[in-house]
Amino acid sequence: MEEEINSYKRKLKRLETELSLLYEVSNAMRTTLDLDEILYIILTAITAHAGLGFNRALLFLVNEDGNCLEGKIAIGPGSAEEAGKIWSEIDAERMTLEDLISCYEEFRSNPSQLDQLVKSIKIPLRHDGGILALAAMEGMPIEVLDNEVRSKINDLVIDILKADYFVIVPLKAKNKVTGVIFADNIYSRKPITKEDIKLLTMFANHAGLAIENSKLYHQTLHLSYTDSLTGIYNHGRFQYLLEEKLKEAKENDRSLSLIMIDIDNFKNYNDNLGHPAGDEVIKKIADIVKNSCRKQDIPARYGGEEFALILPNTSKEEARIIGERIRKRISDYPFKNKEIQPQGAITVSMGIATFPEDAEEKKELIQKADLALFTAKNKGKNQVVVYSIYLGVR
């Protein structure tokens, strides 16, 4: 009887610990919608002594196409020596789970070798993709807890990780597998129990929902500042980003150029061929502008048939060269029915203004670039005009 009571007390204590852990981690995940930070919170809880206590935890998410697992984050020591050092420091400083979760910025600034390794891994979701892919496709936990089972596994990723005994659990949201978590005790050699696996699975279910909510939030946010036709930034986002990039240019004493772009005689094309044909032209020109940009450049749809291109850290002459490259690529492109246009081609006119020589503030910079664009139109179209304070434009 006494043994039964003690067993019951142990179960209650374990349940209390599990609920407390889930509550603490759920609260931490509710404080952010940043996906990377959520992933860090999840794996920190899995590896912390105050959490699930695994030595290593790796997280993979299914990509957008649904055909591949991509490594996103890993937490854990790179060697037994490092493990001992880290665990001693945590014990000495009496760090709680909350303390470890608060170290996200430090983790992000100094990624471990294990984290970098995992982020380079992509696993095809097919039956020959290995054991991680199998866990994702089956949607069930996989336990490898003894030599007999381990000897039957031939998996490159598991071999790279030098893993022997481990567990893989799927991440789920709305009954759909969104990823997997791998966990092991490679250094402490602590046995992975059925209770460990049960708790890890329960925890993964909560984590899956948090990850899905973060993704939905960012998808909604993305839709709110992109143009639905072209996929580039919309007018509102352009105004915000130009303001931000001008602040950066001022703080760092650097130049910034703005190109305003307008499709020549677009009304003629639209009226003769209809709006669907006009939309195709707008989409293609947006693609050409986007693909002609450097990594730092920011293309946007300003409105109608007009585009804007923010060029951080770019002089007026550099902007002119970029503008000419884009103008030529557009005029050379074999658009359908381009021969109905007055110039026998789809062309654009551009106006350029540069901070700080032409304008100090956003509104004035746009006005100067617009004035240069207006001049390009009046001078015959299909050309790039650069604003000049002395000549008005040139």
Catalytically active residues, by annotation: 305
Which residue do the tokens 């557009």 mark?
A: 330
Query: What's the rounded Cα separation, in Å, for the pair 244 and 256?
Result: 11
Amino acid at residue number 215: K
Q: Which residues contact 269 (CB under 8 A, 6 or more apart)?
A: 277, 278, 281, 337, 340, 341, 346
Is 211 within 8 Å of 170 (Cβ atoms)?
Answer: no
pLDDT tens, residue order, the chain (394 aa): 666 666 655 666 565 555 566 656 666 666 677 888 888 888 888 887 666 789 999 999 999 899 999 999 999 888 777 766 766 776 666 767 677 777 788 888 888 889 999 999 999 999 888 999 999 999 999 998 887 777 777 788 888 888 889 999 999 988 899 999 999 999 989 999 888 888 888 888 888 888 888 888 888 888 899 999 999 999 999 999 999 999 999 999 999 999 999 999 999 999 999 999 999 999 999 999 999 999 999 999 999 999 999 999 999 999 999 999 999 999 999 999 999 999 899 999 999 999 999 999 999 999 999 999 999 999 999 999 999 865 554 4
Closest CA to 163 of 180, 144, 148, 181: 144
Report the b/e string of 109-135 with b at 16+ CB within 10 A. eeeeebbebbeebebebeeebbbbbbb
CATH topology for 235-393 is Alpha-Beta Plaits (3.30.70)
Query: What's the rounded Cα separation, in Å, for the pair 322 and 376?
Result: 16
Is 297 within 8 Å of 312 (Cβ atoms)?
Answer: yes
The CA-atom distances, in angstroms, between 225 and each of 112, 243, 245, 298 are 34, 15, 16, 13
CATH superfamily of 2-224: GAF domain (3.30.450.40)
Query: What's the rounded Cα separation, in Å, for the pair 147 and 151?
Result: 6
Listed by start position, the domains of the chain span 2-224, 235-393
